[in-house]
């Protein structure tokens, strides 16, 4: 499959944009494919500038649960633009979407909108430190929380060592305020709190990690984190930028019935436009300026176009049976994938409408397991799928997503493509 125009576009882009892309994974270097340049997308497919069509399981990294180009969402955004795209002044739609978020997400009593998941996490961490008066934050290996300085940290050789930066440009002093531990290891968390509990402001995690592939929290893990943070007076922060509105209206916290103190959401909540949010208990959120002393601001926060798109998206998610239909579609598809991949050194892990094919012999429960997967096999697999018009998320460490618009015909085509890719 030739992509002459995409290659030409990429060669031009690298002259003006670092690496030719505005987010690193789009360069597709880890999967050995030249970057695709997209012309258009509709429902469960997109078309590149060379005219090739692909069944899309990335969906802008989980954003388009309704599929690309939802007519009602688009109409809502277009109507909003007609009245002005940004004001820097409050609008009624901000409150309308805020009400919907508060009603949907169990932990959120008040919410503030921002423009990206990174911004939501950065703000939530500042708020947690301001509220507790403490400095140290615990995260988990493989859980990605955006590119703010304190979150670009990986674990040291020991389970409780202070982190070292995983990016140039992050001062060591920042990294030393973050401890990264193995996911699903409650004993490691207990050990750190036993030594430093009075200095720890918060634990932050993806309750269902999707940025190292889909990893399922083991029984008692989330509940244990809630107990530990409550005992020591630290905050529990769920990063549901991906799982929020994806696993259900209330996200992972509704499924596990574990209520964090703060929650970050993004992607779906903006209906395809740049929007994210963080929210939680009133007494914590009211520490934000102008009421409190924790400062956070943003020119495009609560942008009316994104707010309208988010409102229309959530309205459709509220329709009876939406999530049941979506999960049934995904579960049936994954069941067929499991049949095709049986005894082929592949493990498939699924939660709701998210799934990952790990090229591994064993179930994966943390990042140490994920680091052992066969990335070279995944790259070959990905290339073969792309050649057959199927676009999985272009990294062995990411989740794939199914939308309500994925058709039986397209899912069946994908199964045949997978079978062919594994056979040849």
Between helices 322-341 and 304-317, what is the axis angle to 10°? 80
CA 251/CA 23 separation, integer angstroms: 26
Count CA atoms closer than 13 A to 188's CA, side-chain side.
Answer: 20
- Residue 208: CB atoms within 10 Å: 25
**Do 391 and 54 form a contact (C-beta atoms < 8 A)?**
yes
One DSSP character per residue, 281-341 reads -HHHHTTBTTTSSB----TTTT-HHHHHHHHHHHHHHTSTTHHHHHHHHHHHHHHHHHHHH
**Do 359 and 381 form a contact (C-beta atoms < 8 A)?**
yes
User: % helix / strand / coil in the chain, to the nearest 5?
Assistant: 40, 15, 40
Backbone angles phi, psi at 150, to 5 degrees: -70, -15
Residue of 185, 239, 261, 369 marked catalytic = 239
**Do 174 and 198 form a contact (C-beta atoms < 8 A)?**
no
**Do 112 and 289 form a contact (C-beta atoms < 8 A)?**
no
Q: Collapsing DSSP states into helix, strand and coil, what is residue 354?
A: strand
Residue with token string 């549901």: 240
Residue of 144, 323, 367, 391 marked catalytic = 144
Annotation marks residue 239 as catalytic? yes
Residue 188 belongs to what H/E stretch? helix 186-196
Reading the block at residue 198, the tokens are: 């009075």
Residue of 139, 267, 329, 365 marked catalytic = 267
CA 349/CA 108 separation, integer angstroms: 29
Annotation marks residue 295 as catalytic? no
Annotation marks residue 139 as catalytic? no
Sequence-ordered list of residues with C-beta below 8 angstroms from that of 80, at least 6 positions apart, any chain:
93, 304, 305, 307, 308, 309
Active site residue ranges: 144, 239, 267
């Amino acid at each position: 499959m030739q992509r002459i125009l995409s290659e030409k576009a990429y060669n031009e882009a690298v002259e003006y944009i670092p690496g030719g892309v505005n987010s690193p994974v789009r360069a597709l270097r880890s999967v050995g494919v030249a970057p695709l340049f997209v012309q258009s997308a509709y429902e469960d497919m997109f078309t590149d500038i060379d005219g090739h069509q692909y069944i899309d399981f990335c969906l802008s990294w989980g954003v388009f649960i309704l599929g690309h180009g939802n007519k009602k969402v688009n109409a809502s955004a277009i109507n909003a633009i007609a009245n002005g795209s940004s004001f820097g002044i409050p609008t009624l739609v901000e409150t309308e979407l805020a009400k919907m978020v508060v009603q949907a997400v169990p932990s959120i009593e008040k919410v503030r909108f921002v423009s990206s998941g990174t911004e939501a996490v950065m703000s939530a961490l500042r708020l947690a430190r301001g509220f507790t008066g403490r400095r140290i934050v615990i995260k988990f290996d493989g859980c990605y929380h955006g590119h703010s300085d304190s979150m670009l940290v990986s674990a040291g050789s020991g389970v409780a060592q202070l982190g070292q930066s995983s990016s140039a440009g992050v001062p060591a002093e920042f990294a030393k305020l973050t401890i990264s531990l193995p996911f699903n290891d409650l004993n490691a968390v207990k050990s750190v709190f036993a030594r430093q509990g009075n200095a720890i402001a918060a634990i932050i995690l993806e309750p269902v990690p999707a940025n190292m592939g889909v990893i399922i929290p083991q029984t008692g893990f989330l509940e244990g984190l809630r107990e530990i943070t409550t005992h020591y007076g630290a905050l529990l922060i769920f990063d549901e930028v991906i799982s929020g509105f994806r696993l259900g209206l209330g996200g992972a916290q509704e499924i596990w019935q574990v209520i964090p103190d703060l929650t970050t959401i993004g992607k779906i909540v903006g209906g395809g436009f740049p929007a994210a949010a963080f929210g939680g208990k009133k007494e914590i959120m009211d520490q934000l300026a102008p009421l409190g002393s924790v400062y956070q601001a943003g020119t495009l926060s609560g942008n009316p176009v994104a707010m309208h798109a988010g409102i229309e998206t959530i309205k459709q998610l509220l329709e009876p049976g939406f999530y049941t239909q979506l999960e049934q579609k995904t579960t049936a598809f994954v069941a067929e994938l499991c049949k095709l991949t049986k005894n082929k050194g592949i493990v498939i892990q699924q939660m709701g409408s998210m799934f990952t094919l790990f090229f591994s012999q064993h179930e994966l429960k943390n990042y140490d397991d994920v680091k052992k997967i066969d990335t070279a096999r995944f790259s070959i697999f990905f290339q073969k799928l792309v050649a057959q018009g199927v676009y999985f998320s272009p990294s062995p460490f990411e989740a794939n997503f199914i939308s309500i618009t994925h058709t039986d015909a397209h899912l069946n085509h994908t199964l045949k493509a997978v079978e062919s890719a594994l056979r040849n």
